[in-house]
Each structure stands twice: as C-alpha cells, then as structure tokens.
Amino acid sequence: MNMKFKIFIAVILTALSLNAQSFKVDTSHTKVGFKVKHLMISNVVGHFEEFNGMFDYDEKKGTLTAFKGEVKVNSIDTSIEKRDNHLRSADFFDAQKFPIMTLEMLSIDGEDMIANLTIKGITKKVEFEFENGGSIVAPNGVKKAGFSLETKINRKDFGLNWNKVLEAGGVVVGDIVRINLEIEGDAIK
C-alpha cells in the first residue's frame, strides 16, 4: 500500500469517528448474563459480577462505532457455589489459566454487530443482535448511553466440552449458550 493511500484511509476513518463520543461501562447498571439448558428440561441462568469496558457511540447515527469489554471468569455466579466452582475449573472455563474473556466489536450494520469473542484463549467471530438504547443526560448531569446485545454460541466451539450423558437419554448441560449483555455507560469528558 502506498503512503498516500494510507493517509487517505486514516483521514476517512478519523472523519467517521468525529461524531462519536467515548463512554466507560457503568458496572452498577450493566449486566453480563447467560443461560444454558440443564438436564434438557430447564435453564441455568447466570451472570458475571466483574467486568469492564469502553465504547464509542455516535449520537447522530444512533449507533456504536467501537466496543471492547473484558469479563473476569472467576466472577461467575449461578447462585450455586458448587456449580460455580465447577464452572471455574479446567472442566469448563479453566479460570486459573484463562482468567479473562474478551469481546471486541469488528463491525455493525443496523441491528447486527460482528465481534471477536475470546473464551478460554479461543477467539471466534460472533454475530450479536444489537438493540440501541440511545443516549440521555441523567438527572445527575452525567451523559449516558446504553444498548443490548444478544447471541447464541455453541460452548464446545470455545473448548467448554465437559458433559455427562443421562441414563434416560440427553445430557447434563446443553451445548447452546444464550448470552445477553445489558450495557450502560458514562460519557468520558
């Protein structure tokens, strides 16, 4: 690539992001949740307590221009300590070896966001359904923006392979995991 073309691309990308404002994820108003089938008859619902992230929101276009987040695997909570400890073990997340999961937006088109999701050291492109919550100035004077992301992944694609076959047929843990992120951020001044 010649230098003039590189400069042209840099100018275009800068111009596209001029209307975007940066936000820090407000952890007290954000939820990183999931659910997965248990015994093939019900769902285990869980979430992660510790996470952080940043995003750029273009108010004029009403969309994200960038998003990156991290989740501490050890903060998993399904309301049953024994199960949470098993999920932290090498059978599932192997939290000692892989303490962080990441999500980084690659592109967005309307209600579809493509992002790199990294779990257990394995990175895959995943399509999320994006719901724009918009932006507002809160009563305390802080500018806020929010959005929701939902997707389904096959946990085995990320090396989360543990399972047991039931005597009556079926398995203890379903392969498909539904991920739901409810994100609210505070504008960075």
Q: How confident is the model at residue 163 (pLDDT cuts 50, 70, 90)?
A: low
Q: What is the mean pLDDT of residues 66-85?
A: 96
pLDDT, tens digit, 9 for 90 and up, residues 102-120: 999 999 999 999 999 999 9
3-class secondary structure, 143: strand
Give residue 10's pLDDT: 47
3-class secondary structure, 177: strand
- Spatial distance between the Cα atoms of 34 and 152, rounded to a whole number of angstroms: 9
Domain range summary for the chain, segments of one domain joined by +? 21-187
Of 8-17, 52-61, 65-74, the one with minimum mean pLDDT is 8-17
- Spatial distance between the Cα atoms of 72 and 132, rounded to a whole number of angstroms: 25
CATH architecture for residues 21-187: Beta Barrel (2.40)
DSSP string, 139-165: TTS-EEEEEEEEEEEEGGGGT-----B
65 sits in which H/E element: strand 63-72
Q: Identify the residue with better confidence: 1 or 61.
A: 61
Chain mean pLDDT for the chain: 88
Inter-residue contact 54 to 26 (CB < 8 Å): no
Q: Answer whether residue 32 shows pLDDT above 50.
A: yes
Give residue 14's pLDDT: 47
